[in-house]
Amino acid sequence: MLKLKLSRIGKKSQPSFRVIVQEKSAAVKGEFLEELGYYKPITNPKEFKINSERVKHWLSVGAQPSPSLAVLLKKDGFSDMVKYETRPTKKSKKKKGQEEEAAKPVAQKAPEKVAEKSPEEAAPVAETPSPAAEAPAEQQAA
């Protein structure tokens, strides 16, 4: 799959980018098929110059722009860039059935842990007589 990307070419603290067509899996600074323009965000005003005919060609063949480039292309007058502006998320959504199944084992495990403990592992209980137990003994002595 082909992507339209920004490839950084500027020095440290002086960013400038090439707009390139490249295979999606290729390294950002690796080999590319065609240079379509440049973007210089440090200049005032920011410079963004592209060959719009070539960009239209690559979009018609199925190449997809990166989210950051889609924002720049939208500002430059390309329509239909909204669908490319957001980055896809890698979070998996749980279905309703999976959420219920995940909650059930947690509730079932808690009683098993209590039942597995032996009396020796349980915390020792202090053996102090309760006031109710002492009262009958005093009544009997009197």
Query: What order do you get walking across the sheet with 2-8 strand by strand?
Result: 47-50, 34-40, 17-23, 2-8, 64-65
* 92 class by beta-carbon count within 10 Å (0-12 exposed, 13-18 middle, 19+ buried): exposed
* In the chain, domain spans: 2-85
CB 55 within 8 A of CB 73: yes
CB 54 within 8 A of CB 36: yes
Q: Which CATH superfamily is domain 2-85 in?
A: Ribosomal protein S16 (3.30.1320.10)
pLDDT in tens, 41-82: 999 999 999 998 999 999 999 999 998 898 898 888 887 877
Predicted TM-score of the model (pTM): 0.57
| pLDDT score recorded for residue 114 | 53
